Amino acid sequence: GAVVSQHPSRVICKSGTSVKIECRSLDFQATTMFWYRQFPKKSLMLMATSNEGSKATYEQGVEKDKFLINHASLTLSTLTVTSAHPEDSSFYICSARDRAGGTNTGELFFGEGSRLTVL
């Protein structure tokens, strides 16, 4: 299956600083990537849909000025948590669809996740 790489896997930062998380599709082009946040009780929350070359689409309740998403190429999307606070500590996961051949049945391929801890 398609491979999605996410970096860093773990990051610890001080309150007030910004943190950037990268998501790369390694062997396919992803016009669309998705960013999820996973809470301690395991549920996945879709934060935003990242579209190559255009603005991201944020889900209701997600602060777009807080969670900056950039999708500058067909293989890279970045999530920047700006002015991080302890409540932003979480597990962030990106995913992408492989649209090879113009077909898409909807399965997503996920990165390994990034554990953010804000002190």
Partner 1 sequence: AQSVAQPEDQVNVAEGNPLTVKCTYSVSGNPYLFWYVQYPNRGLQFLLKYITGDNLVKGSYGFEAEFNKSQTSFHLKKPSALVSDSALYFCAVRDMGGGSYIPTFGRGTSLIVHP
Q: Distance between CA 25 and CA 78 in Å, rounded?
A: 12
Choosing from 46, 72, 100, 119, the residue that interacts with partner 1 (CB under 8 A) is 46
Per-residue DSSP letter, 27:
S
Q: Which is nearer to partner 1, 8 or 16 (CB)?
A: 8
Sheet with 4-7, strands from edge to edge, namely 4-7, 19-25, 76-81, 67-73
Closest separation in Å from C-beta 102 to partner 1: 13
- Residue 6 lies near partner 1 (rule: CB under 8 A): yes
| Contact between residue 34 and residue 51 where contact means Cβ atoms under 8 Å apart | no
Residues making contact with partner 1 (CB under 8 A) = 1, 4, 6, 32, 34, 42-44, 46, 49, 91, 93, 95, 97, 104-113, 115
